[in-house]
Structure 1
Amino acid sequence: MGNHNVNTTLQGALILSVAAFVAKLLSAVYRVPFQNMVGNTGFYVYQQVYPLYGIGMTFALSGLPVFISKLIAEAPDLATQQTVARQVYRWTGGLAVVIFGGLMVGAPWLARGMGDHQLTPLIQMVAWMFLFMPALSVGRGYHQGRFNMLPTARSQVVEQLVRVIVILAAAGWATHHGWSVYRMGTWALSGGTIAAVAALLTLPRWRTAQSSAGRRLPHLGRRLLIEGGTLCLLTAMMVLLQLVDSFTVKNGLVAGGMSDLAAKSLKGVYDRAQPLVQLGLVVAVAFATSLLPALTEAQRQRHPQAFKRLTTTMMRIALVIAAAATAGLISLMPWIDRLLFGNTQGVGMLDIYMLSIILATLIQTYNSVLQSQDTYRLTVVALMTGFIVKCLFNRWSVIHFGGVGASWLTVMSLGVTFAIIWYGSARDLRIGIWQRSFIRKLLGCTILMVAGVQLTGDLLEHWWPALATGRLAAGGALLITIPVGVIIFFSLALSWQLLTVREWLAIPHARTLLKLWQKLRHFGGK
């Protein structure tokens, strides 16, 4: 690969990273005004069915396009690239029709499995989106494989923007006209199909009028199942765990003695964790995977030392940011809950759920490293084992411990997944990252940050009693305590040399932070 292609690849990776960040940010943020408009029960209705849409979205947004782009990039000429794209389109088209038919016919059964037969039309509405999955996946993957990232980036942002607009418009209209929460949910979920059509309109055509005569790709079905399936499983990891919750949390609460209406409301409160976890994951993974193109290039060029150094850097950055985000969210959760949702319901189970940010970040980052080495089996085994743990024990845990039990099972499932990946990885991936001095420093920075935030919060509540009840007051408190936490954490991290200078410089815009720190140290030394 020449320098021009390398630069093109790096620029394309940056474009896709920015687009993915914007798309995921939109996907996380809209849930807050949506929940405020429709309430806990309305949020429950939407979130019960959302995982089915989320699985399809991850297939079409990131999972399959990445795999397809790899197939296209491997093809030697344009004719073969179009032949490969056609073959993949036929495979994914068949899969989409099967999923569509299964959801349409099986919707009543799935709704009963979720403990609420009124969810049937919502599930059937989601089914329509899958019919557009093949065209979106192949279109995005084809252009990515030809190093043209703009069509994919544009379609990702358009898709999420249109979907968010439809969802919030449906919620606003339903609230104003007194619709039932189920009718509202059906129209809100129609946003997935409408958004898919809008995204498809932004993608340039990839098929020619004439039949391509390129070389057919052997074993495509097997590669689609193993490599493409692994990528889809990973990107849908959190959504799959949410799908288990859809079938077990509300049913488990009712089996534990709660009324049907109260169980729906509490499930809506439990689902508040989703946008918060997603925001934490977006930030941590975005910073860490900014090094992924360089990591892949080091592997391709067979530079083991550079690969090891970049791997260690990526993992440490991911762990530092995820730990800071998790600790910050947990320590500030009462005020975050009050500001975003108007009360402090479910703070305990939300706190526990936030621990999944660290584990999910590490799993995704480790998997990025394994993918650069074309290693897939370990990730599949780990993900499926964690998923099975969640399936087997989630209902029992909810019956005995309520929503807190479901939060713990999510954390445990991710813990099992990470443990399998960690123990199955090469020794360099374990020893180089998990040095005792690094872990001690990270724990020290995190604990002192939490202590500083808690002390600041206690002082504010002493001087400002309205913090205990006021929504705007909670927002004001966060404007003070968040900067305090950030300053404490990064001051300690820089003072204790938590990361090396090279590792700091790998973080986007960290050079400015280091220059400011040097000025402050110089000023303090005078």
Structure 2
Amino acid sequence: MQNKQMQNLMKGAVVLSIASFIAKVLSAVYRIPLQNMVGNTGFYVYQQIYPIYGIGMTFALSGFPVYISKLVAEQTEPAEQTKILRQSFALLGIFGAAIFIYLQIKAPAIAGAMADPALAPLIEMVSFMFLLMPFLAVTRGYFQGIFNMIPTATSQVAEQLVRVVVIILAAWLSLKLHWSVYEMGTWAMTGAFFGGLVATISLLKPAERAFVWRGPVTKGIDWQSYKGLAKKLLIEGGSICLFASLIVLLQLIDSFTVKKGLVLGGLTDAAAKNLKGVYDRAQPLVQLGLVISMAFSSTLIPSLSQARQRQQDQQFRQVAEALIHISLGLSAAAATGLMVLMPQVNVFLFGDADGNRALVWYMFSIAIIALINACNSVLQSLDQFYKTTIALLVGIAVKIMINQWLVQHFQIVGASLGTVISLGVVLYLVLRQSPELVKNALAPKRFTFKLLLICGMMWLAVKIALDITHFGLMTRGAAIMSTGVGITVGVLVFVGLALRWQLFTIREWLTIPGGRQLLRLSKKIKR
């Protein structure tokens, strides 16, 4: 791969990183006024159904688009690209319609399985977004496949912005019109459809040229071609979707088990809903912690595929190592920062320090998920889908088996432990099947030990800084000041030690947004 193309890929990664960061910030920020306006119980109602939306969003943004981008990148003829796009749209259209119909019919049964029949209208409402999923997935996949990340980034930000506005408006109207928390949740879920509709409109004009047929006109339908693509979308595309929606799938299991477990553990129905709402605070924090690693994973799969297809082993190894190092390094730093600052972050965002222990345990999942996704991206580019999919399914099975028991005995701390344990199982199984280049990238002396030591030093420095400043946690203002001090100290320590101990190579620093400036500053300081 030429240097110019590699630079375009990295620029694309930066564009998607920025768009993902904006989208994740929006996705996290709206939860603050939402939780404050509707309380823990209202937050519980919304979060119970959110995983269904999250799975649909994964299909439309980071699941099927990533696999379709891989198919597009492997084709050199525009006619073949168009053929793949049209066939993918038809197959995903059938898939999306089937999910819509299923959720419409089975909404009462699903709500009953969640031990809260009043959730059925929310499930029916969120199902409408699956009708928009096929177009969004195919068009985003096409643009990522030709290394044009702008349309995907623009549509992603527009979708989240509209959705957030609708949700906050629904919460505000619920206070003014005295709606129940379930009425509020139903109207808030309309944001999923309206956000998807705006994203669809934003992609219509850019995608028009991609769907114009450039091949010879043929009579009839090539059923064999459709059959082959359907199999690929199901097995290989489905594997990408499963990994992209890993954390959402675990949250979906929580929706079916946490409230039940809390009630079985002795809490009243109202208290269980309230505590589940506290536990759900972990989700936006994990989303923010995974922003950059997810963006790089989704963007670099086409480049890994091309490097492998052209038998450029050295280029493949460099991109793979950069992906693993950057994803794990930055996510580990984010997880460490959130863990040490959890009391301050909790008060700052949600007004109290409830559930601190459970949230701290949950933050371990940030680094684990980032490493799983990075390793899986390498394996997917090598067309190794089957074994990694089995690893994920085993992890989900572990979560299903242990979660309710853990919640029943340890409340929401048990739910966090269930998530971390199940992710640990997935990571272990994925690493066992990873090629030597992945294991070399994680070599203890070369990278892992340095990263653990830097994160430990960062933790210690932030704790000392908080003890010295001692703003306290009595008010949001004090929590904000403590958080600001902690973030400043944490970033300075992590970046300083990462540069001094050469955690990342020069090539990897140049890949990170702002890395070039940091290298220049480091050279000036040394002089």
TM-score (norm 1): 0.91
Please say which of residues 504-513 and 274-283 is displaced more in the overlay. Answer: 504-513
- String of CA shifts for 1:3-31, please: whole Å, max 9, x gaps: 88777666555544443443333223322
**What is the match of residue 268 of structure 2?**
259
Mark the CA change 1:67 to 1:505 in structure 2 (over 3 Å): closer, same or farther. closer
Distance 1:496 1:266 in 2: 43
Q: Which amino acid aligns with 1:155?
A: S
* Corresponding residue to 2:382 among 373, 377, 384: 373
How many Å apart are 1:158 and its aligned residue? 1.5
How many Å apart are 1:420 and its aligned residue? 0.6
Alignment partner of 1:138: what SS?
helix
- String of CA shifts for 1:66-122, please: whole Å, max 9, x gaps: 223333445565554444333222222221222111111111111011111110100
1:241 aligns with 2:250: yes
**What is the match of residue 58 of structure 2?**
58
**What is the match of residue 343 of structure 2?**
334
Q: Within 5 A, what are the aligned runs for 1:436-455?
A: 436=445, 438-455=447-464
Distance 2:136 2:297 in 1: 27
- String of CA shifts for 1:141-176, please: whole Å, max 9, x gaps: 344445554433322221111111111111111122
Q: Percent identity among equivalent residues?
A: 48
Please say which of residues 89-98 and 421-430 is displaced more in the overlay. Answer: 89-98
Q: Which amino acid aligns with 1:487?
A: L
**What is the match of residue 483 of structure 2?**
478
Distance 1:5 1:455 in 2: 45
The answer to whether the 8 Å contact 2:328/2:370 transfers is yes
Mark the CA change 1:65 to 1:497 in structure 2 (over 3 Å): closer, same or farther. closer
Q: Which amino acid aligns with 1:450?
A: W
* Corresponding residue to 1:488 among 486, 493, 498: 493
Q: Which amino acid aligns with 2:52?
A: L
Distance 1:432 1:514 in 2: 22
The answer to whether the 8 Å contact 2:16/2:295 transfers is no
Q: Which amino acid aligns with 1:104?
A: Q
The answer to whether the 8 Å contact 1:79/1:213 transfers is no
- String of CA shifts for 1:397-436, please: whole Å, max 9, x gaps: 1111110011001011111111111011112311342223
The answer to whether the 8 Å contact 2:17/2:296 transfers is no
1:506 aligns with 2:506: no
Q: Within 5 A, what are the aligned runs for 1:400-479?
A: 400-436=409-445, 438-461=447-470, 464=471, 467-479=472-484
Distance 1:99 1:65 in 2: 18
Q: Within 5 A, what are the aligned runs for 1:184-333?
A: 184-203=184-203, 204=205, 205=208, 207-208=211-212, 213=217, 216=222, 217=225, 219-286=228-295, 295-333=304-342
Distance 2:460 2:71 in 1: 50
Please say which of residues 290-299 and 198-207 is displaced more in the overlay. Answer: 290-299
Please say which of residues 388-397 and 439-448 is displaced more in the overlay. Answer: 439-448
The answer to whether the 8 Å contact 2:163/2:194 transfers is yes
1:138 aligns with 2:116: no
The answer to whether the 8 Å contact 1:88/1:138 transfers is yes
Alignment partner of 1:355: what SS?
helix
Please say which of residues 215-224 and 179-188 is displaced more in the overlay. Answer: 215-224
Distance 1:458 1:7 in 2: 44
Distance 2:284 2:151 in 1: 27
Structure 2's unaligned 5+ residue stretches are none
Q: Which amino acid aligns with 2:47?
A: Q
* Corresponding residue to 1:350 among 356, 359, 365: 359
- String of CA shifts for 1:426-483, please: whole Å, max 9, x gaps: 123113422235333322222222112112212222xx4xx23111111011122221
- String of CA shifts for 1:277-336, please: whole Å, max 9, x gaps: 110011344467776565444333323234323323332222222221111111110000
- String of CA shifts for 1:157-209, please: whole Å, max 9, x gaps: 21111111111111111122221110000000011111121111122235459
How many Å apart are 1:337 and its aligned residue? 0.4
Distance 1:164 1:43 in 2: 14
The count of aligned residue pairs is 518
The answer to whether the 8 Å contact 1:80/1:213 transfers is no
How many Å apart are 1:210 and its aligned residue? 11
* Corresponding residue to 2:394 among 369, 385, 392: 385
The answer to whether the 8 Å contact 2:82/2:213 transfers is no
Q: Which amino acid aligns with 1:213?
A: V
The answer to whether the 8 Å contact 1:386/1:413 transfers is yes
Please say which of residues 225-234 and 307-316 is displaced more in the overlay. Answer: 307-316
Mark the CA change 1:482 to 1:498 in structure 2 (over 3 Å): closer, same or farther. same
Distance 2:322 2:80 in 1: 38
Mark the CA change 1:8 to 1:498 in structure 2 (over 3 Å): closer, same or farther. closer
Please say which of residues 412-421 and 130-139 is displaced more in the overlay. Answer: 130-139
- String of CA shifts for 1:326-368, please: whole Å, max 9, x gaps: 1111111000000100000000000000000010000111111
Q: Within 5 A, what are the aligned runs for 1:161-180?
A: 161-180=161-180
The answer to whether the 8 Å contact 2:69/2:302 transfers is no
Alignment partner of 1:257: what SS?
coil
Distance 2:142 2:327 in 1: 30
Q: Which amino acid aligns with 2:467?
A: D
Distance 2:77 2:522 in 1: 51
Structure 1's unaligned 5+ residue stretches are none
Please say which of residues 147-156 and 350-359 is displaced more in the overlay. Answer: 147-156
Distance 1:299 1:454 in 2: 45
Distance 1:504 1:147 in 2: 21
**What is the match of residue 127 of structure 2?**
127
Q: Which amino acid aligns with 1:180?
A: S
Distance 2:202 2:16 in 1: 15
Mark the CA change 1:97 to 1:389 in structure 2 (over 3 Å): closer, same or farther. same
Distance 2:482 2:296 in 1: 27
Alignment partner of 2:341: what SS?
helix
**What is the match of residue 522 of structure 2?**
517
Mark the CA change 1:10 to 1:498 in structure 2 (over 3 Å): closer, same or farther. closer
RMSD: 2.5
The answer to whether the 8 Å contact 1:287/1:508 transfers is no
Distance 2:67 2:383 in 1: 12
Distance 1:120 1:370 in 2: 39
Please say which of residues 442-451 and 105-114 is displaced more in the overlay. Answer: 442-451
The answer to whether the 8 Å contact 1:287/1:507 transfers is no
Alignment partner of 2:290: what SS?
helix
Distance 1:210 1:319 in 2: 42
The answer to whether the 8 Å contact 1:26/1:164 transfers is yes
How many Å apart are 1:53 and its aligned residue? 0.9
